[in-house]
Structure 1
């Protein structure tokens, strides 16, 4: 079982069309994917891991692997007046809204030609 608090998996990483393909492929292999529900508590009682979802459902598992994802740190860029759009917005050359400032890596969002820009 995969628990995703966002409305869909891979929300920040890929377009919805690709996430849908990945979601369906995993479900076809028997993975249950729960989207749009957060975790309110996790407890290991010695017999298993009990996961209480915010929506009221409980899940019991032998093992829990927890990944909290990545959120770009954009505070300094925002304070500098740079455009923020799911990260520091850059163009195809990694130039921010200030032509003298560039950003690269997980902190930025950039257009990809393969996805239509």
Structure 2
């Protein structure tokens, strides 16, 4: 269902968080990937962002917090991300972020795999 929403909103497919970067450079790296899940570590120095991308269902955990400017279909707003904070999301059709603070923000994204996708990784 989320992929249908994404396709309807954006004729060009958006990258996922690993594929999306900032000014041609990656911001996320794979820490672990298997048939059950993928774990990404995303690092944003001050002034570094994440180009427009989508998220499948995931869990996020802030290893190092800071101030991020988030733009999505609801507009643009700033978010204070506290170290150790966490969240769960059913997915995001699109958003983009920029570190507008003076600390490096680092967070983990844990994406569970669907049964269909997991079967393809065996």
Scaled by the length of structure 2, what TM-score is found? 0.20
* Higher fraction of helix: 1
Between structure 1 and structure 2, the one with the greater Rg is 1
Tell me which of the two structures has the higher relative contact order, counting C-alpha pairs closer than 8 angstroms and 6 or more residues apart: 2
